[in-house]
Amino acid sequence: MSKDITYLEAIREALFEEMRRDPKVFVLGEDVGAYGGAFGVTQGLHAEFGDLRCLDTPISESAIVGVSVGAALRGYRPVAEMQFGDFITCAFDQIVNQAATLRYRYGGRASVPIVVRAPSGGNVGGGLYHSQNPEAWFIHRPGLKVVAPSTPWDAKGLLKAAIRDDNPVIYFEHKYLYRRIKGPVPEGDEVVPIGQAAVRREGGDITLITYAAMVQPSLEAADRLAGEGVEVEVIDLRSLLPYDKPAIFASVEKTNRVLIVHEDVKTLGIGAELAAVIAEERFESLDAPVLRVTCPDTHSPFAQALEQANLPNADKITEALRKLAAY
């Protein structure tokens, strides 16, 4: 059985179910309590679980994650909310120098089962402080796991998997998707494994690798190419660290052409790493250069017209697919 709910409702449902399932799970962050969070994700949690399990904090991301690391070492499973993913930088030391390294430093005798929820992404008129896609900073760091769901089903299932994981997980939830997409979500305890990609559309001519909010314009572009006789296989990574290398390679060996689409800026985004790995390990399968469609190396503009010009979209993806098909 499944029901249709929004991306935001799926995240909230995962929090309720995991907090009911495990009394060691608690949430903390700015205004997550009675107010219900800046975007309403945590509405209702405080009423059911009270102050000690739905904890309002000062405006200090480093404190939020620091408290989470300490609580995790004492056996709890904190879910820390960054009000906007942009401000995760204020907790950078706590995440990359503390949470990511503790298991290694303790020789495996300690774990840090924290989840850092980071509302990220643009196309919401948020300007440069409320529109960033900072995933590349964290996929560079051993000891972390990083996920970025694109559907309500995955938003719920990946959050449940993240909360149960004994490693620190950065959970990027795209703000643009909160109330704009709705889809089936299974009733019951359905967990989406971290590290497994999903093939959203099968095809034999070009592999398109993407994730989060870029899945929908990628599917739209793939449908356009189908009308021109080119079948594009769309892979939704879902998990950025670890990513599903076998799924990527299987598709590349089938299509021999690759386009990578992400909303993050181009230089040293995850697309650069994927392109390098494909070139290193599957070069002989390629019939064309690996191409990328990304945001340019600029800050996110506030003006709507400039933001739209900045973002990847179905038109830009379609153009790149046609270029690959003709190569």
Provide the pairing of β-strand 145-147 with 182-186. Answer: unpaired
178 in Cβ contact with 6 (< 8 Å): yes
d(CA 180, CA 308): 17
Percentages helix, strand, coil for the chain (3-state, rounded to 5) are: 40, 20, 40
Q: What is the DSSP string of 69-91?
A: HHHHHTT-EEEEEPSSGGGGGGG
The three-class DSSP label of residue 242 is: coil
Within 151-238, strands assigned E span 169-174, 182-186, 198-201, 206-210, 232-236
The alpha carbon torsion through 314, 320, 326, 327 (nearest 10 deg) reads -160
46 is catalytic: no
- Residue count of the chain, please give it: 327
Provide the pairing of β-strand 145-147 with 169-174. Answer: parallel
Q: Label residue 188 exposed, middle or buried (CB < 10 Å: 0-12, 13-18, 19+).
A: exposed
Angle at 272 between CA 270 and CA 275, to 5 degrees: 110
Active-site residue, from 46, 130, 174, 262: 130
The structure tokens 């019951």 sit at 188
Omega before 23 within 30 of 0, i.e. cis: no
Cα–Cα distances (Å) from 115 to 103, 177, 270, 278, in that order, read: 15, 20, 21, 30
72 in Cβ contact with 113 (< 8 Å): yes
Catalytic residues: 130
